[in-house]
């Protein structure tokens, strides 16, 4: 066993220095940290976590005890539980029961207690198990049902779920059903069977119950099918339903029975079952939160029953095109475009309505949208939200002209979205598709490295932390750039996205809005050559030496560069951030996110409107309603990491995949950065404005002009093109 003394001898430092390095404390130089870390690697030293706990006197670990990990409800629960625990500085540790008896449960409880966990979330499958007791015993929170003598419980009402499933069968006139459940000695199974049976039989539906397990369900089902010709099979668990599905497909002739089941929540459609869903990820997160409140001594109710997600339908509306025509959509190149194609395919399968997607680059859309003012082959048009003021009235039809009740749907969107993505003045032209905001993404492994933190302290005389201003951002970027710091573990400290003039202008505005809230001043005038504007441009110029030469041409390239692990920080609109957690990403396990420096991000993304020339206006609006409504909007969110629906930002599967959406949910509505006063009805040509601004920025970045000259030139051009705003 390697000791501190061995490491000190190998590294040539004192034992106190080794202790400080291993425990992350003390004023140790970067060189000595490196020596200790290299000695640990050579000697194969593995930290003793239990010893650390004993030294601290407390353990920030929570345990979860589940019967079986192959069930989706348990993996979903642990995913939500772990995310919440880790966000509060706790580790989550999983224990799996070896069997369903009391001895196995008590053994798992002893294992958790021996690991000195502070609290335990317990899926109990038996009665009478002895819980930890005495001084220092972990708090125990029962999941799914309240066991005898338990003080705290959180779960779902499975008896009510059984009644709801019975009601669905009765509404469809099902005369008899096979009911398959687990052992009735499990309280949650017994409650479900009781609720279903009582409600179904009261409504005249005959129930044929089978209590079994996954190993014997196939034989039990085949035997039951020889006796009964039931038109439906109802299962208490998803895994039972999946086994029933495969069995009926192989062995039973058509028409096969419909399958109903209790299920964890599915963000994407799974069409083979009629599911009554519970959000186990939410349950896991809520359970971790309750345990932490119990441990902190805060008041917590003894029991908590969460509402069910219930029946969720991806079915499309029954609207059919009067002339049997396809719907044609034009959209901008982005990750959301590929998702739109996938959802359009699902819509076509359900309705028979063909949906064609045409994708253009950012630069090409200028010519396309100019042509749409005269005529259009497109029914649905995706516009950047910053282009709505100038283009909406020219190319779109007000949605209330198609359906006067459409404003009622705006209440389902993320806070702040209707105001920024839907209206021009008081006219409703679009529904939101992919609302987004600029964010700062960074490598947590770099920012949390003891040696890099110490080295930064020695060089910059301040703590390495996530930058709050662009002055700090530039300093950290230089530290992580090999051009200025050959010891940097990455080639570049940050990113700049500098493709077209429009993209360059957007990159610049991020820095300007860190210094002033909006584009206009207190009198509503726009001054591009202000002191704040010049400072923002100087900050951008200083960053040139810390980024990839020439910058990245488009936001997808910026995302790919950061995902490769080439940079320490990236500023990116979150609707382009999905590749950061994709299967090719090298940073997905070390991904941090924060507000952009200055805390005033630009908003971006797109909205969908209907061409004033469309011959399929009602059918187009039906498609948009389906696309932005639940649960389809959440499915879109899971596929591409952006969605307009508020429900998507409370979906724990989506938040687990794209954790930065929590920050979008909380801060989207706080963003300023208005180009014109929100009550100003005059159209503002964002495309022209951002282009002339981008030209000025490019001139300054190349050295052809000073920042003052470039912005003065932009101001003069702005006064020519936008006299009413200057």
> Structure tokens of 629?
């409504």
What is the end-to-end Cα distance of the chain in Å, rounded? 74
Report whether pLDDT(57) > 70.
no
> Structure tokens of 308?
């069910």
Report whether pLDDT(363) > 80.
no
What's the confidence (pLDDT) of residue 473?
Answer: 98
CA dihedral over 708, 713, 714, 718, signed as positive or negative: positive
Provide, rounded to the nearest whole percent, the portion of the chain with pLDDT above 70: 94
Average pLDDT, the chain: 90
The secondary element (H helix, E strand) that includes residue 699 is helix 686-702
Report whether pLDDT(630) > 50.
yes
pLDDT tens-digit map of 3-52: 777 777 777 777 777 677 776 666 777 676 777 777 777 877 766 555 55
Beta-sheet pairing, 430-432 with 606-610: antiparallel
Per mean pLDDT, which range of 24-28, 284-288, 350-354, 559-563 is the poorest?
Answer: 24-28
Q: What mean pLDDT do residues 311-316 have?
A: 87
Report whether pLDDT(266) > 60.
yes
Compute the distance between CA of residue 30 and CA of residue 458 in angstroms, rounded to an integer. Answer: 8
User: Which residues 6+ apart lie within 8 Å of 679 measured at CB?
Assistant: none
Q: CA 89 → CA 81, 292, 451, distances in Å?
A: 13, 11, 22
pLDDT tens-digit map of 222-239: 999 989 889 999 999 999
List the beta bridge partners of residue 453.
Answer: none
pLDDT tens-digit map of 666-699: 999 999 998 888 778 889 998 899 999 999 999 9
Task: Tell me the three-class secondary structure of 552-570, residue by residue.
Answer: ECCHHHHHHHHHCCCECEE
> Structure tokens of 43?
């000697």
What's the confidence (pLDDT) of residue 489?
Answer: 94
List the beta bridge partners of residue 93.
Answer: 63
Closest C-alpha among 168, 224, 219, 163 to residue 195? 163
Q: Which domains does the chain have, with CATH numbers?
A: 4-47 (1.10.260.40), 59-151 (3.40.50.2300), 158-278 (3.40.50.2300), 327-435+605-650 (3.40.190.10), 437-596+676-721 (3.40.190.10)
Compute the distance between CA of residue 260 and CA of residue 262 in angstroms, rounded to an integer. Answer: 7
> Structure tokens of 718?
């702005």
Q: Which burial class, exposed, middle or buried, applies to 26 when counting CB atoms under 10 A from its CB (0-12, 13-18, 19+)?
A: exposed
- The alpha helices in 373-481, defined as continuous H runs, are 388-395, 399-402, 417-421, 444-447, 450-460, 470-479
Report whether pLDDT(128) > 70.
no
pLDDT tens-digit map of 532-557: 999 999 999 999 999 999 999 999 99
Provide, rounded to the nearest whole percent, the portion of the chain with pLDDT above 90: 69
Compute the distance between CA of residue 376 and CA of residue 63 in angstroms, rounded to an integer. Answer: 60
- Other beta carbons within 10 angstroms of residue 262's beta carbon come to 28
Distance of CA 66 to the CA centre of its chain: 26
Per mean pLDDT, which range of 318-327, 336-345, 434-443, 561-570 is the poorest?
Answer: 318-327
User: Which residues 6+ apart lie within 8 Å of 270 measured at CB?
Assistant: none
Confidence of residue 192 (pLDDT cuts 50, 70, 90): very high
Using the 8-state DSSP alphabet, how is residue 601 labeled?
P
Distance of CA 589 to the CA centre of its chain: 15
DSSP string spanning 179-210? EEES-TTSHHHHHHHHHHHHHHHHTT-EEEEE
What's the confidence (pLDDT) of residue 676?
Answer: 83
- Other beta carbons within 10 angstroms of residue 565's beta carbon come to 17
User: Which residues 6+ apart lie within 8 Å of 514 measured at CB?
Assistant: 469, 470, 536, 596, 597, 598, 599, 600
Confidence of residue 172 (pLDDT cuts 50, 70, 90): very high
pTM score over 0.85? yes
pLDDT tens-digit map of 379-438: 999 999 989 999 999 999 999 999 999 999 999 999 999 999 999 988 999 999 999 999
3-state secondary structure of 103: helix
**What are the φ/ψ torsions at residue 665 (nearest 5 degrees)?**
-60, -40
Q: CA 538 → CA 509, 533, 595, distances in Å?
A: 13, 9, 21
Q: What mean pLDDT do residues 710-715 have?
A: 97
Of 172 and 53, which is predicted with more confidence?
172
What's the confidence (pLDDT) of residue 36?
Answer: 72
Closest C-alpha among 409, 192, 209 to residue 308? 192
Confidence of residue 58 (pLDDT cuts 50, 70, 90): low
Per mean pLDDT, which range of 298-312, 602-616, 640-654 is the poorest?
Answer: 298-312
């Amino acid at each position: 066993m390697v000791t501190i003394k061995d490491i000190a001898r190998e590294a040539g430092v004192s034992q106190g220095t080794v202790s400080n390095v291993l425990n992350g404390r003390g004023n140790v130089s970067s060189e000595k940290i490196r020596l200790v870390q290299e000695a640990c690697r050579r000697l194969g030293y593995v930290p003793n976590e239990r010893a650390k706990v004993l030294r601290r006197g407390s353990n920030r670990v929570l345990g979860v005890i589940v019967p079986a990990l192959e069930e989706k409800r348990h993996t979903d629960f642990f995913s939500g539980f772990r995310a919440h625990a880790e966000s509060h500085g706790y580790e989550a540790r999983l224990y799996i029961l070896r069997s369903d008896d009391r001895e196995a449960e008590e053994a798992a409880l002893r294992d958790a207690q021996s690991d000195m966990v502070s609290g335990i979330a317990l899926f109990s499958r038996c009665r009478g198990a002895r819980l930890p007791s005495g001084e220092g015993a972990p708090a125990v929170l029962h999941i799914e049902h309240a066991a005898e003598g338990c003080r705290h419980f959180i779960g779902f009402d499975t008896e009510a779920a059984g009644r709801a499933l019975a009601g669905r069968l009765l509404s469809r006139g099902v005369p008899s059903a096979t009911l398959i459940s687990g052992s009735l000695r499990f309280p949650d199974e017994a409650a479900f069977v009781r609720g279903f049976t009582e409600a179904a039989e009261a409504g005249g539906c005959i129930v044929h119950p089978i209590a079994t397990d996954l190993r014997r369900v196939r034989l039990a089902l085949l035997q039951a099918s020889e006796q009964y010709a039931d038109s439906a099979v109802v299962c208490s668990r998803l895994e039972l339903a999946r086994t029933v599905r495969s069995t009926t497909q192989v062995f039973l002739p058509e028409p096969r029975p419909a399958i109903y089941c209790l299920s964890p929540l599915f963000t994407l459609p799974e069409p083979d079952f009629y599911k009554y869903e519970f959000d186990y990820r939410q349950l896991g997160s809520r359970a971790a939160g309750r345990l932490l409140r119990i441990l902190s001594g805060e008041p917590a109710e003894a029991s908590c029953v969460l509402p069910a997600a219930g029946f969720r339908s991806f079915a499309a509306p029954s609207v059919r095109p009067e002339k049997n025509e396809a719907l044609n959509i034009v959209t901008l190149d982005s990750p959301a475009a590929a998702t739109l194609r996938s959802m359009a395919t699902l819509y076509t399968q359900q309705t028979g309505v063909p949906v064609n997607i045409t994708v253009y680059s950012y630069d090409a859309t200028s010519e396309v949208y100019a042509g749409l003012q005269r005529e259009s082959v497109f029914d649905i048009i995706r516009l950047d939200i910053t282009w709505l003021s100038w283009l909406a009235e020219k190319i779109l039809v007000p949605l209330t002209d198609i359906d006067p009740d459409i404003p009622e749907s705006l209440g389902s969107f993320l806070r702040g979205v209707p105001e920024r993505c839907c209206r021009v003045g008081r006219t409703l032209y679009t529904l939101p598709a992919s609302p987004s905001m600029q964010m700062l993404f960074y490598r947590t492994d770099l920012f949390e490295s003891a040696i890099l933190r110490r080295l930064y302290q020695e060089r910059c005389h301040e703590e390495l932390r996530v930058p709050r201003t662009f002055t700090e951002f530039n300093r950290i970027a230089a530290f992580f750039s090999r051009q200025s710091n050959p010891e940097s573990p990455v080639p570049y400290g940050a990113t700049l996205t500098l493709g077209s003039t429009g993209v360059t202008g957007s990159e610049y505005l991020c820095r300007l809005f860190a210094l002033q809230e909006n584009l206009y001043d207190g009198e509503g005038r726009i001054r591009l050559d202000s002191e704040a504007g010049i400072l923002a441009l100087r900050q951008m110029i200083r960053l040139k030496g810390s980024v990839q030469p020439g910058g990245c041409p488009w936001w997808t390239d910026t995302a790919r560069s950061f995902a490769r692990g080439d940079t320490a920080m990236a500023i990116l609109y979150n609707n382009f951030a999905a590749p950061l957690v994709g299967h090719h990403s090298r940073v997905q396990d070390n991904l941090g996110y924060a507000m952009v420096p200055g805390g005033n991000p630009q908003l971006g993304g797109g909205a969908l409107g209907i061409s004033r020339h469309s011959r399929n206006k009602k059918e187009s609006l039906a498609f948009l309603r389906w696309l932005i409504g639940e649960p389809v909007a959440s499915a879109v969110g899971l596929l591409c990491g952006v969605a307009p629906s508020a429900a998507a930002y409370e979906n724990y599967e989506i938040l687990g995949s794209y954790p930065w959406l929590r920050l979008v949910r909380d801060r989207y509505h706080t963003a300023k950065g208005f180009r014109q006063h929100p009550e100003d009805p005059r159209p503002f040509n964002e495309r022209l404005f951002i282009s002339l601004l981008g030209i000025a920025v490019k001139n300054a970045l190349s050295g052809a002009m000073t920042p003052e000259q470039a912005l003065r030139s932009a101001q003069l051009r702005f006064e020519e093109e936008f006299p009413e705003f200057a």
